[in-house]
Amino acid sequence: MKSDREIELLRVAGNIVYRTHQYLKPFIKEGITTKELDRLAEDFIRKQNATPSFKGYDGFPGSICTSINNQVVHGIPGKTKLKNGDIISIDIGACFKGYHGDSAWTYAVGEISDDKKYLMEHTEKALFEGLKQIKPGNRIGDIGHAIENYAKQHHLGVVEELVGHGVGTSVHEDPEVPNYGLPHTGPKLRKGMVIAVEPMLNLGSKEIYVLDDEWTIETADGSPSAHFEHTVVVTEDGYQILTGE
Ligand code: MG
Ligand code: MG
């Protein structure tokens, strides 16, 4: 449980992450490299007197994660140029006065296929299906169950190896928040808990593998993947998004 003072700092950090996403949006166009997006994000975050949470995290070389099409998460920013028809998942973390915010969003580059639109729409909706379960007394398993259920109804693969998490003075804290699970199981949600919920859904099977760079995770069958994440605080009767406006 976080104190009111801590929640205020987490709110500032979360809002910086939100504003970094808004700042990047107009740049997400054909021709820009993921390294250029990384530089823009890092400069913006530092101007807010914050630092990029992922830079150097376990040795991660980028400030943000940029995962294109069949890449699920942890793509390293580099020379790859975005192309019309790509989707790109951008995961941003920012640390303000020792407290973190964490939010990922998948964006379309130009005109994308109906399949990719379907994947993006339903992965975002799956996130909100999970969030709807958040209130004191419910359990972590209720969140995962709602996400898994929604994904299965829409024939999307649920990545299981990567999970949501608590957020605080460390960007990844307990408890783990899986995108699958059974109702009424797992740790109880309590007022003042801060967690990141982050479904990663694939248009094909749920299987994934790690590239030789030891970071980038791709779908095993080459199908596109989407990732939507918010950091939220558990309130008296529900939740509030910290990585929003
Ligand atoms: Mg994230
Ligand atoms: Mg996260």
Q: How many Å lie between the centroid of ligand 2 and the Cα of residue 27? A: 23
Query: Distance from the CA of 53 to the center of ligand 2, in angstroms?
Result: 11
Using pLDDT thresholds of 50, 70 and 90, give the confidence band for residue 245: confident
Taking the centre of ligand 2 as the mean of its atom positions, its distance from the CA of residue 103, in whole angstroms, is 7
Indicate which ligand has the atom closest to the C-alpha of 64.
1
What residue numbers bound the domain in which 73 lies? 4-241
The residues whose Cβ lies within 5 A of ligand 2, an ion, are 102, 196
Asked whether 200 and 226 are in contact (CB, 8 A), the reply is yes
Kind and range of the H or E element at 96? strand 87-96
- The CA 212 to ligand 1 mean position distance, Å, reads 21
Q: Helix 34-47 to helix 4-24 angle, to the nearest 10 degrees? A: 140
Instruction: Specify the pLDDT at position 78.
Output: 98
**pLDDT averaged over the chain?**
98
pLDDT band at residue 225 under the 50/70/90 scheme: very high
Ligand 1 centroid, distance to 243 Cα (angstroms): 11
Ligand with minimal distance to 167 CA? 2
CA distances from 196 to 43, 103, 172, 176, 178 (A): 24, 8, 9, 9, 10
CA dist list (Å): 140 to 117, 136, 167, 168, 196: 29, 11, 14, 17, 11
Q: Which of left, alpha, beta for 223 (phi over 0: left; psi -120 to 50: alpha)? A: beta
Split into its structural domains, the chain has a count of 1
Residue 58: predicted pLDDT: 94
Centroid of ligand 1 to alpha carbon of 195 (angstroms): 11
Mean pLDDT, to the nearest integer, of 120-134? 98
DSSP secondary structure code for residue 5 in this structure: H
pLDDT at 13: 98
Residue 46 to residues 20, 42, 57, 203, Cα–Cα distance (Å): 10, 6, 17, 35
Quote the ligand 2 centre to 104 CA distance (angstroms).
Answer: 8
Q: What is the pLDDT of residues 85-103, one digit of tens each?
A: 999 999 999 999 999 999 9
What is the average pLDDT across 74-79? Answer: 98
Residue 63 DSSP code: S
Give 103 Cα–ligand 1 centroid separation in angstroms: 5
- Measured in Å, residue 161 CA sits from the centre of ligand 1 at 14
* Amino acid of residue 63: S
CB 221 within 8 A of CB 207: yes
Amino acid 135: pLDDT: 98
Average pLDDT over residues 55-59: 96
What is the domain-level CATH number for residue 154? 3.90.230.10
Does position 230 have pLDDT exceeding 90, yes or no? yes
Q: How high is the pLDDT of residue 8?
A: 98
Residues 6 or more apart from 163 whose CB is under 8 A from it?
A: 176, 177, 178, 179, 198
% of residues, the chain, pLDDT over 70? 100
